[in-house]
Amino acid sequence: MSRKTEENKQSKSTVSTMKKWRFLLRYLKPYALSYGIGWLCLLFSTLAGLLFPYLMGGLLGADTQGGTMDAIAVLLATSTVNAIAIALFALFGTQAIFSFLRVVLFNNVTENALRDLRNDAFGRLIYMPMDFFNRNKVGELTSRMASDISQIQETLRTTIAEFFRQIVIVVGGIVFLFFISWKLCLIMLGTVPIMAIIAVFFGRFIRKLSKEAQDFTAVSNSIIEEALMGIANVKAFTNEVFNLNRYKENTQKMRDLQVKSGVWRGVFVSFIIFCLFGAIVFIIWQGMLMTQGPSPTLAKEGFYQFILFTIMMGASIGSLPELYANIQKSIGSVEHLLGLISTPTEHEVNKGTKKPEVHGNIAFKNVTFHYPQRKEVTVLENISFEVAENSTLALVGSSGSGKSTIASLILRYYEPVEGEILHQGTSASEMNIEHLRNHIAIVPQEVLLFADTIRENIKFGRPEATEEELIEAAKAANAWEFISQFPEGLATQVGDRGIQLSGGQKQRIAIARAILKNPKILILDEATSALDSESEKLVQDALDRLMANRTAIVIAHRLSTIRKANKILVLQDGKIIEQGTHEILLSQNGTYSRLVELQNLSEA
């Protein structure tokens, strides 16, 4: 690699690191005053700590004036010892106060900054396009956010403060040592640069290993989350061993990486300990030689001070590599969060601003679409149709024919590759995405309820709704009868993903949610296909009321439920092969007619 290329690479790395620090400082800036006071307290407590070896050395050397002393000399020596002892206690008190203030201030600033960071990260995450979640596993995202923020929390709260403290101790110690004995100081300086270079080298290497370990941890947590969320499927297919083996394989890789990291950490720590204690012994040896002989070049008091400073500096130098490695890990965590927060959200990708009246008139004009992650597979090809307001459009076809994709495009989860979708003649791409979705509600086949009360799950359709409106919506959805039978009524907890309710009850909660929203456009994604006959009748009755006086897009599995649809589209391989009413399509004896015949036979 040429020198110029290496310089460019180093420059880019520096810029990247500066960008990460600027990102972190953005969250510390609102609390700059408290943080600044905390840093002053840290500086004062550290400087106070540097006086300890100096005073302690004076205390130890105060009684080394000779074997016989007269009364005045004894009195003076005693006064000196007492003064130094009092000064040490005053020093400890001062240091304790500054340390307390520093800990409290750093903790408060850290928690405030991380609260803002968490809110921003989730705020960005929840507004990400659907394609983002297709490319990233939810379990891995949540695990990564938690682990990264915890790493940053520890660094801001203690690690960076300790790193600064040790640097001040090393630099301050060198200054004191120089005035005590410049010869011994030079011996100490001969060991510091070597240790610093090794610390930087190992810090970078350990950072790389730690980042890889974090990735494996996130994947492991994702496997756990997926297995537990789909525990019913795991047990139904007796795939416990399959999931366990996946997890074991990943944890083994993580273990191997951590062991490798531990070996290198052990080598580094052992090397530092050997060099550090070897240097201390060598300095003590040289210092003792200076205090011997008829004309010693170093006083006993100065020797004690030098030894204490050397021990303190040795401890500081020994802790620097670990602190540096932790800071490097935090920079890696900042990089992950910066990548998340820098990813464009739906609002930034879809820049439409128009907010026209939405009455439910929808038109697809030559729409072609493929998913961003599968560009080679065309899901919809040159689709064109129109839905009049307050009418019902049914979508029929085999799995993978494009029915759910049409619903996703209406909701603007994705944008067409070619063609356009119009609402009241206005292109969807020019419309404000929230404004459009405010006029759309969906009742899916698999209803997701939040682990909260029935009340909160229904209010999800319109959070500002009154209790009376909520009850009316529940009644219209045929849900009030079973809700009122629960001892806690609307305050009943539904459990994780609504596990404490039956399929029909969850569907009616979803319908009540849609009724409360009162949308202009309603999407029903096979809403009754998984229900028994009794539940289907109750749900279908509620759906009929919900579909009245609004545009309905019905993805049909049971064709008997779409006989009254104003228009039926029959899809195959992303194309419309038939369209018309139920009667017209039956008379054509085509695909739809065969589907009806097959379903009638299967239900007979």
DSSP code at position 30: G
Per-residue pLDDT band for 5 (boundaries 50, 70, 90) equals very low
Lowest mean pLDDT among 257-271, 345-359, 531-545: 531-545
Does the pLDDT at position 23 exceed 70?
A: yes
Least confident of 58-67, 256-265, 574-583: 58-67
Q: Tell me the CA end-to-end span of the chain in Å, nearest whole number.
A: 76
Residues 219-239 pLDDT 10s:
777 778 778 877 877 777 777
Cα separation of 581 and 571, whole Å? 14
What are the tens digits of pLDDT across the range 317-371?
A: 767 777 877 787 778 778 778 877 888 878 877 877 888 888 889 999 999 999 8
As a whole number of angstroms, the distance between CA 445 and CA 384 comes to 26
Length of the chain: 604
Helical H runs in 448-562? 454-459, 467-476, 480-485, 503-517, 533-547
Identify the three-state secondary structure at position 142. Answer: helix
**Burial track 333-349 (b if 16+ CB lie within 10 A, e otherwise):** bbbbbbebbebebbeee
pLDDT cut 70: percent of the chain above it: 85
Read off the pLDDT band of 71 (50, 70, 90).
low
What is the pLDDT averaged over residues 478-498? 84
Separation of alpha carbons 445 and 456, rounded Å: 20
What pLDDT is attached to residue 365? 92
Range from 15-24, 417-426, 476-485 carrying the lowest mean pLDDT: 15-24
Sheet holding 418-423, edge to edge: 380-387, 362-369, 418-423, 426-427
Please report the domains of the chain, with CATH numbers, ordered by start residue: 22-345 (1.20.1560.10), 362-603 (3.40.50.300)
The answer to whether residues 346 and 331 touch, using CB atoms and an 8 Å cutoff, is: no
**For position 364, what pLDDT does the model report?**
92
Residue 15 pLDDT > 50, yes or no? no
Interhelix angle 300-342/240-291, rounded to 10 degrees, is: 150
> Which stretch, 276-280, 333-337, 535-539, has highest mean pLDDT?
333-337
Nearest CA-CA partner of 501 in 443, 541, 447, 462: 447
Q: What confidence tens digit (pLDDT) does each residue in 339-350 have?
A: 778 888 788 778
pLDDT score recorded for residue 8: 47
DSSP label at residue 70: -
Average pLDDT of every residue of the chain: 79
162/147 Cα distance (integer angstroms): 21
Higher-confidence position of 197 and 379: 379
Residue 440 in 3-state DSSP?
A: strand
- CA dist., res. 253 & res. 247, Å (int): 10
pLDDT digits (tens, 9 = 90+) for 157-208: 888 888 888 888 888 878 887 877 777 777 767 765 566 566 666 666 776 7
Q: At 37, is the pLDDT very low, low, confident or very high (cuts 50, 70, 90)?
A: very high
Q: Which amino acid is at 342?
A: S
Output the six-digit token pair for 76.
């003076």
Residue given tokens 């990548």 in the structure block: 339
DSSP 370-410: --TT-TTS-SEEEEEEEE-TT-EEEEEESTTSSHHHHHHHH
Model pLDDT, residue 200: 61
Q: Please indicate, yes or no, whether the overall pTM of this predicted structure exceeds 0.95.
A: no
DSSP state letter for 200: H
Lowest pLDDT segment from 105-114, 270-279, 415-424, 587-596: 270-279
- Give the per-residue SS3 of 433-457: HHHHHCCEEEECCCCCCCCCEHHHH
Which string of b and e fits 284-304 if b means at least 16 CB within 10 Å? beebeebeeeeeeebbbbbbb
576 beta partners: 571
Instruction: Look up residue 123 and give its two tokens.
Output: 């705020």
Of 533, 531, 514, nearest to 523 (Cα)?
Answer: 514
- Chain centroid to CA 574: how far? 37
Please name the helix (run of DSSP H) or strand (run of DSSP E) that holds residue 222, with its range, or none.
helix 192-229
Confidence of residue 33 (pLDDT cuts 50, 70, 90): very high
Structure tokens at 55: 């005073």
Backbone angles phi, psi at 392, to 5 degrees: -115, 125
Structure tokens at 354: 């128009």
Q: At what angle do helices 32-61 and 300-342 cross, to 10 degrees?
A: 160
State whether the Cα torsion 286-292-295-297 is positive or negative.
positive
